[in-house]
Structure 1
Amino acid sequence: MMDLTQRQWVKHAVIHPFEGFEDMRWKKSGSLKIAMLIVLLLFLGEIAYGRLYGFQFYISYDKTFNIIPYIVRSFVFFGAWTVGNWSVCTLLDGEGTLRNICIYSAYALIPYIVQLYVNVMLSHILVRDESVFMQVLELIGTCWTVILLFSAVKSVHQYSLKKTVFAVILTIVAMLIMLFLLVLFMSLIQQVYIFISTVYTELSYRAKV
């Protein structure tokens, strides 16, 4: 089997969706540092897509920059997918470790990330009548990433086709549950903060009086 560098393995996995991850698994390849860099590029790409898109295609009415939505769409979603898939597939006798799931899933995001940056650049070059090219590019990048994610789950856990579909569905359900619990937790933290702040303000006022 081929002997590639870590960067070459990334290219091999993306270009060969049905055998790239299988080859990576047998060679025990994959870099966690590269995976984290890819997730960081996803974060920056989401910001570029939301804030630097050509004005003729997208107008932002936000008066202030809020980084939270971009963190959610990159780091939080990716973390929820990784942990959710690991949790579900542990119950389904999957062979993948949390580290490998993280690496393979990050590699699978590359087509989607590439189309983010390319579309941002094209939005400053093309006119509105040519937006179909950007839509096609977005569709290709998204579908390619979906195929890679499916292949990554199948390869890292050594599942059959049907079991992979079942695992992906359960992973999405697990993500929704985790995100729902996260929203509840953040809401609880906010309520506690408001309560403490109110008590502190009241005590400060009474102390001055």
Structure 2
Amino acid sequence: MMDLTQKQWVKHSVFHPFEGFEDLRWKKGGSVLYASIVVLLWFVAEIVHDNLVGYQFAVTNPKMFSIVPYLVQTIVLFLVWVIGNWSICTLLEGEGTIKNIYIYSAYSLIPYVVGLYVRTILSHVLIQDEAIFITCITVISTVWSVTLMFNAIKAVHQYSIGKTILALILTVVAMLMILILVVLLVALFQQVYVFVSSVYTEITYRVRV
């Protein structure tokens, strides 16, 4: 089996969806740094695509920019995916570590991320009648990333096709549960903050009086 650099492993994984991640696993390749760069580029790509897309293809025209939604729908969502998959596959006797799940999942996003940048650029070049090209890039990049993600999870945990499908479904369920718990915790902390703030304000007022 080949000995590749970290950059070459990224390329090998993306362009060899069916055996790339198997090779990556057996050679213990993959880099947390490169995976993190991919996730960061995804975060930037979403911002660029939503705010700098050509006016002919713009779906919305937000008057106020907020970075929080982009953080949630990229970095936070990705971390929830990794944690959810690790927790589920630990119960299903998967062999993947949380580090490898993080790396393999990030590598799987590369076609989708590249597609976002390409679509943004083309939106300033093409006219509305040529929107089919942007649609094709969207479909190809999304299907490519989904295929990579499926094979990444299959390889990292050494699952059969059926068990991989089950793991992916349960991962989505786990993600929903985690997100619900996070929302409840945030709401709880907000209520505690409001209560403490109110008590502090009342005490301060009485002391002054």
Structure 2 distance, partners of 1:189, 1:117, is: 37
Instruction: Give the equivalent residue in structure 2 for 1:141.
Output: 141
Instruction: Give the equivalent residue in structure 2 for 1:97.
Output: 97
Asked if 1:36 corresponds to 2:47, the answer is no
Q: 1:170 to 1:120 in 2, by over 3 A?
A: same
Aligned-partner residue type, residue 24 of structure 1: L
Aligned-partner residue type, residue 207 of structure 1: V
Instruction: Give the equivalent residue in structure 2 for 1:53.
Output: 53
Aligned-partner residue type, residue 82 of structure 2: T
The Cα of 1:64 is off from its aligned counterpart by: 2.1
Aligned-partner residue type, residue 13 of structure 2: A
* 3-state SS of paired residue (1:142): helix
RMSD (CA atoms): 1.3
Structure 1 distance, partners of 2:197, 2:52, is: 37
Stretches of structure 1 lacking an aligned partner (at least 5 in a row): none
Alignment of 1:173-192 (within 5 A): 173-192=173-192
The Cα of 1:202 is off from its aligned counterpart by: 2.9
Q: Deviations over 1:103-154 (max 9, x none)?
A: 0000000001001111111111111121121111111111111110000000
Aligned-partner residue type, residue 97 of structure 2: T
* 3-state SS of paired residue (2:3): coil
Instruction: Give the equivalent residue in structure 1 for 2:196.
Output: 196
Structure 2 distance, partners of 1:173, 1:136, is: 30
Alignment of 1:63-82 (within 5 A): 63-82=63-82
Q: Deviations over 1:67-126 (max 9, x none)?
A: 111001111111011111111111111111111111000000000100111111111111
Structure 2 distance, partners of 1:191, 1:67, is: 24
Q: TM-score, normalised to structure 2's length? A: 0.95
Structure 2 distance, partners of 1:22, 1:144, is: 17
Instruction: Give the equivalent residue in structure 1 for 2:126.
Output: 126
Structure 2 distance, partners of 1:161, 1:123, is: 38
Q: TM-score, normalised to structure 1's length? A: 0.95
Structure 2 distance, partners of 1:205, 1:124, is: 58
Q: 1:49 to 1:20 in 2, by over 3 A?
A: same
Aligned-partner residue type, residue 39 of structure 2: V
Identity of aligned residues (%): 58
Instruction: Give the equivalent residue in structure 1 for 2:107.
Output: 107
Structure 2 distance, partners of 1:186, 1:50, is: 27
Stretches of structure 2 lacking an aligned partner (at least 5 in a row): none
